[in-house]
Amino acid sequence: MLNTSGHLESERMLIFVNDKLLPEEKATISVRDRGFIYGDGIFETLLLRRDTVFRMREHLERLTQSAGVVRIDLPWSIEQLAEKVDLTVRENGISDGIIRVNVSRGVGSWRLTVKGATSPTLVITLYPPPDYPPETFTKGWPVIVSKEVTAIDPVIPGRAKTTNRINLILAKNEAEEKGAVEAILLNREGKLTEGTSTNLFFCSRGRLNTPALGSGILRGVTRDMVIDLARSDGFELIEDSYEPSDLFSSDEAFLTFTTAGVVPIHSVDGTVIGDGRAGPITHRMMKHYEEALDREIDEAANRV
């Protein structure tokens, strides 16, 4: 629900829990839910802009793919999930924000076995749009390359967006303790992968580079969009395996993620990238992203 200033009030928010919309204080799950016990679940984060859920089908398709990887048998089709998301947005009466769709394996054994957990738990929550300061999109973020945490498994993270985020939580904490905003993780071979909630791009001599899916990264919806936009604009874009030194020596770099789109990288481990501000290619990709976002939302509105 919105207050008089137009902001979402969490204490009045309606949460979708297993086919019921409930006030937040009454929206609960069982203490035996495997999502709570083990982080045994999957999720998606979606952007709500001007009454439109941006690329909802792509996000829900990825949710369904994640379910298949971790062997959660979803009882809902993509269309049914979309209806539940739309209902939650409509009943809360908001036009801009962030949507979180969580699915756990549900109530089952406290042991590792999944036997008996046959009814997944679905929770849909809404959050206010992030209030990023202006320098986020001009100066950009200081980031680190995590020295303590690596990408755990080269297969599962690249194929399923799971709720078990402990390695990413630790890496994020490491970044914040060092005065940075984001951490880039390496894989077991010491190659660049992704951030804790972002995908990585960097530019060298006019060429755009991003770690390949085989590095052990999640296939980001915003990442895919930026790759398409870059190639449509004639940029050479290479998906490959990269050393941390490739990032340190780059001319400019940026991150992509659902809640902000494209965010420049100011520095890595204290080493300033380029001139420490959004470079010309980053600016161009930010512009392309915002134009494409507005265009798709306008097209969705015209279809209604």
Query: For residues 47 and 59, is the Cβ–Cβ distance under 8 A?
Result: no
pLDDT at 4 over 60: no
211 strand-pairing partners? 240
Question: Cβ atoms within 10 A of the Cβ of 114, count?
Answer: 17
Q: In what order do the strands lie in the sheet with 121-127?
A: 20-23, 14-17, 121-127, 97-104, 41-49, 52-53
Angle between helix axes 280-303 and 221-232 (nearest 10 degrees) is 110
Question: Cβ atoms within 10 A of the Cβ of 155, count?
Answer: 11
Contacting residues for 170 by C-beta, under 8 A, at least 6 apart: 148, 149
Place of tokens 């060092």: 178
**CA atoms in the 13 A half-sphere facing the CB of 69:** 19
pLDDT at 301 over 90: no
Percent of the chain with pLDDT over 70: 93
Q: Which pLDDT value is given to residue 149? A: 74
Domains of the chain, first to last = 10-127 (3.30.470.10), 134-294 (3.20.10.10)
- d(Cα 21, Cα 2) in Å, to the nearest integer? 16
pLDDT at 182 over 80: yes
Phi, psi of 101 (to 5 degrees): -110, 115
Which of 5-9, 240-244, 253-257 is the least confident region?
A: 5-9
Q: Dig out the tokens for 289 from the structure.
A: 């992203």
Query: For residues 143 and 192, is the Cβ–Cβ distance under 8 A?
Result: no
pLDDT per residue over 269-281, tens digit each? 999 999 999 999 9
Q: Which pLDDT value is given to residue 293? A: 95
Q: Dig out the tokens for 3 from the structure.
A: 């207050």
pLDDT per residue over 284-295, tens digit each? 999 999 999 999
pLDDT at 2 over 50: no
pLDDT per residue over 49-106, tens digit each? 999 999 999 999 999 999 999 999 999 999 999 999 999 999 999 999 999 999 999 9
- d(Cα 181, Cα 176) in Å, to the nearest integer? 6
Q: Could you give the 3-state DSSP secondary structure of residue 134?
A: helix
pLDDT at 153 over 60: no
For residues 215-232, average pLDDT: 94
Alpha helices in 141-243 (DSSP H): 156-159, 166-177, 221-232
DSSP state of 10: G
pLDDT per residue over 16-28, tens digit each? 999 999 999 999 9
Closest CA to 183 of 119, 120, 99, 244: 244
Q: Dig out the tokens for 78 from the structure.
A: 């993509």
